[in-house]
Structures are given as structure tokens and as C-alpha cells.
Structure 1
Amino acid sequence: MTAENGFDFGLSGLSTQFHQDTVETPLELARLWAESDAVGLQADIDRLLEVPLPDWALTALWRAASGMVGMEGVPDWLREVEAQCTARLRTDHEVIAGPEAPGLVDGVLDELRLVGHALAEATTYHPYAAVRDVVPALELVVRETDPNLGFRLLLRCLSRYWIEIDRTTYDRYVDLGKEFGLGEHVVEACAFLMHPQD
């Protein structure tokens, strides 16, 4: 599953729309995003709610990926967004399946383990954007929901918290993105995280 324009999509794509100077409410931003990506957004949320993931995991993931660290009621908000998508589509659709290859699950988990300590430190102890339990929440998504979505949310969290990576790591991300069928710009958006010397 990928956006036709090669950029991020679904829930991870929506998370890129939140900034310090955002004037729209989270629900308004979701409505705007759903105008062009209702299927992708609903598919991602369906996966998270179908398992279902615990509320603490949903909250940690969204706060870290979007930067909305003070946002309350994340699980209920996700359900509202899902309802908006359903109303927009006006018909049931088949949830787009993620890749079934267990190697992709293992590949994403391997990458998460490599950056897990740095990400946990950055998210837990950030001076003004602290979020707890981000790494275990990502592990749950990868293992129990969808490695594709887990990988995209990992990239968003790394970017939000400016976790440095080296060129070798970035190249592995590119390879994973290709295996998932992601557009080139999904991984490219975190290229700025590479060490300057790389």
C-alpha cells in the first residue's frame, strides 16, 4: 500500500500535518486529510482498533508521531476519524492487507531494536515533548497490527525527535521501504537524520 504521489499516507501521513503553528483542531486536520486519503487513513485506523491495541499504546504512538504530546482522548479521537472516513467513502471497503512475509516483521523489529534505546531516551526525557512507552507501543504495532504501519510510524517518531542515524541504517530503511512498496519520499523524508559525515 502506498500513496500514488510517492509521499506518506494514512495515519503516518496525517501525523506530518501537525505543527506548532497549526490552527485547525485535530479533527479538522483529519477531515482535510481524509479528503484525499480516506481509504488509507481508515485502513490504518481499522488495523489499530481491530486488534485492539491498548489505549496507552494508541496514545503514545499518536503523541510521539504527531508531536501532539498533550492531546487527550486519542483512542476516542481515532474512532471519530474512522467514522469520518466511513461517512466520506459512503460504502464499506476491503481493508488493504499489509504484507504477510514474516521477514518484514523481523526486519522492522530489528531496526526498532537498533534505535530503541535512543528513541526511548529522547521520547521519555524530552524537555517539552516527553512521551512514555513509545518503543513498546511500536513493537505492538509491528507484531500484532501491521509491520508496514509500524515502520511508517517508526520513521515519523525518529523524525519528530531528531534521532540521528548513519548512512548504512538509512540505506536499510530504503530497502525496507521498497519491500513494503512505499513511495520513495516516505523514507526520504527522514534523510536529514543522517550524520553530517555520512
Structure 2
Amino acid sequence: MSAAPNSTSEPVSKNIVWHEGVTQTQREELVGQKGVTIWFTGLSASGKSTLACALELELLQKGKRAFRLDGDNVRFGLNKDLGFSPKDREENIRRVGEVAKLVASSCTTTLTAFISPYLADRALARKIHDESKIPFLEVFVDAPLAEVEKRDPKGLYAKARAGVIKEFTGVSAPYEAPESPELHIKTAEVDIETGVQIIVDYLEKHKFI
């Protein structure tokens, strides 16, 4: 009996065995593409999902494997039992980190668009990938609070200011900006097309696609 060789915590069940199979190197050679997770983080309405959607389409049109995990979408299924308390946010990101690692290990460019406001939670997501030797790229989608409040496509900032939504990032809950992201895209200064090209150039330069 043995546990997974790369694990951030011990599983509750002891009656499990880690099964080896196709190696990551074999998979990459057969598929012809490396797996990587691109982790978009930023305030609500900063442009994370818009940028991730546009990048996903661009990669698919180039004939590359790509799949997007979106913050809201995941809460309709996998994380439907979680709220927005600090503890629930932590578990939300831990689960997404594990899922993203699995998808990326299939030699797919995996795009995650989550506010993920805490440095420690994003560090855990990176650690999950590092332990399995899956590349992890953090993209800080940066827009000033005044700008995202002006956009406010879902009306969430207005509700937060009115006290209807509690623990809302940027208003009544903190956002801890990345200290050294692989990419820093200021969506108040560049359009989505330019942002996508910045990421594609990075992926090509580092031979991820």
C-alpha cells in the first residue's frame, strides 16, 4: 500500500494504492504538446474570464489542446457546496488546483480564471503543480478598483457597496496581488486581443505550444 508520490496532504483513506501508468514524457511525445496551467488572478470584472475565453479559442484555432476552468462555472458543480468565507475560498482554490493539474497532465493548456485573492492559496495551487512537475504560470489580470467598479457587468460591486453581498473581494474582503507573476496584464491599458498575444508569445517562447 502506498500514497500518491506527489501530495500536499495525506489522504483520509488508507486503503488506496497509487497506480503508475503512461509517463508524462511518453504522453507529451505521443500527443505532441506539453501540459501547462495558466492561472488568471485578479479582481472581479478585471477581465480574467474574457481573456481566458479569448485565449482558449485562439489556441484551439491553432490546433492546440486547451480547456478553461471558470470561477463561476466550477461553483455550479464541483464546488457548489462552498461559499465565500476565507476557509471556503481556500478549499475552492485547492480543489481547482488539483483539477487543473490533472487536466494539464493530459498535455492540455489549462486556463483557470479565478479571483483567488490570497497569496497563500495561489502558492498552494502552484505547489500542487510543482510536486507533479506540471508547469504553472500565474497571470495577474490587473485593473484598478475604480475601473472594475465602473465596468461591474454583474452588478456585484453595487451590491457589495450596499451591504447586500458580504465578504466581497476589493470592497469588504482583501485582494493580495501577486508578488512575482509570470505575466502582468493591465486590462485598463491593453485590449483583449493584445493580452492574448502577450500570452501566446510567452507560450511559444517557452515551447509550451
Using structure 2 for the length normalisation, give the TM-score.
Answer: 0.31
Structure index of larger Rg: 2
Bigger proportion of residues as strand: 2
Bigger proportion of residues as helix: 1
